[in-house]
Amino acid sequence: MTLAALEIIGYRSVRRIRFPLRQLTVLVGGNGVGKTNLYRSLELLQSAAKGTLADELAREGGLSSVFWAGGKNLTEDGSFDPKFRTDGYRSGEPQRLALEAEFSELDGFPDGLNYRLEVGFAPAESAAAFPNEAQVKTELATMRHRGKPVMLMERKGNIAWARDADGRREVADEDLLPSEPALSRLGGRPEIARLRDAILGWRFFHGFRTDPDSALRRPARAVTSPTLAPDGSNLGAVFATLRHIRQDTTDLDRAIADAFPGVALEVPPVGEHATFGLRYPEMPKRVFLPHELSDGTLQFLALAGALLSYRLPPLIALNEPETSLHPSLLPILARMIVKAAERSQIWVVTHDRDLAESIAQESGVLSREVIRNDDGTWIDGLNILGEFTDD
């Protein structure tokens, strides 16, 4: 699977943007420019596949809190331009949040496909949705065949259409609630299921909790774990899977040796739980368990588990992974990111230019600068066609 481009309209600091994604994409920028809003948009797309989109938006305060509300709404003399509403939308223009993912390839779709979702407020007279609840207005999935779009799924109101076995359009569901994405409901259809499952396979890592009650500091369940959970709760099982199932911790051992010279990762045989520890050269007879490790050390080990696990997800998104890390660890983190990009599509959002530069030195992939102008969040060098001028 390759996610080729992402379009976002009307989400927080983003008025409208479409930009390409590569096998390794690094976005860098200061606080407040909207980097996390770009990242968060991918999470919202995944919530549509899960069927939790309305709940996710409610966690953010509901639609009234997430709609784009800035931009060029003043005249040259600084007074309010009456053709704009106070939220930045033109008069008469409905408030919508739109997200679209373009795949250049996906299992079963060699020419790629697009998935688009638009949400807005329920009509005032509607009894099927709460006042501030996100209502799916339109939803469309199209595959590309010989250069032409072919409808896989289309949803309007409470009705969704899809293709039957012969490629003909048929009603697939006519009892959708306004807040239910059709993508999550039509998983029984093979074509829709492949798209949904690809999106569900994405992993998002925002930075791991390292406080005393963190899941990282507790033993993991004794279950083979080829991929790290978003909260890192199976980190011990991920390391045990590499050591005792795959029997290959070469990359992991090298990363730890580079980060902490002389330190060895200890992964005991799995019993009722899976755990790990570090053995330091100055105290070779003692293994320090997760609850004894520093926040920065534990954060680094969790990132190693996310990026060097047995089986990587199709897409890994990292939001400010440098948090809690000593600057000396950034080049090693960069090497792990570049190594992971050989097996997975990686998207890094960071404000640390040293990390971005280390990734560039390791891979040749230059970072993109996220900025904020009168039209909201933008990426330096991006033109209105959604292409980078220096590509």
The least confident of 72-86, 183-197, 210-224, 289-303 is 72-86
- What sign results for the dihedral spanned by CA atoms 126, 128, 131, 136? negative
What is the C-alpha radius of gyration for the chain, rounded to an integer number of angstroms?
23
pLDDT at 108: 79
- Model confidence band, residue 84 (pLDDT cutoffs 50, 70, 90): very low
pLDDT at 345: 97
CA distance linking residue 379 with residue 373, whole number of Å = 10
Neighbours of 195 (CB within 10 A): 28
What stretches of 204-329 show up as alpha helix (H) in DSSP?
A: 235-240, 250-259, 295-307
Distances (CA, A) of 127 to 133, 177, 180: 12, 11, 15
Strand partners, 288: 278
**CA neighbor of 205 nearest in space, from 318, 297, 340:** 318
Contact 197, 188 (CB under 8 A): no
**CA neighbor of 370 nearest in space, from 44, 69, 102, 14:** 14
The dihedral formed by the CA atoms of 377, 379, 380 and 386, expressed in degrees to the nearest 10: -120
Element (H, E) at 53: helix 53-59
Per-residue pLDDT of 103-143, as tens digits, reads 998 887 888 899 999 999 877 666 566 777 889 999 999 99
Element (H, E) at 361: helix 353-363
For the chain, domains (ranges, CATH) are 2-24+36-202+370-379 (no CATH), 204-368 (3.40.50.300)
Per-residue pLDDT of 30-60, as tens digits, reads 998 999 999 999 999 999 999 999 999 999 9
pLDDT at 354: 97
Contact 139, 182 (CB under 8 A): yes
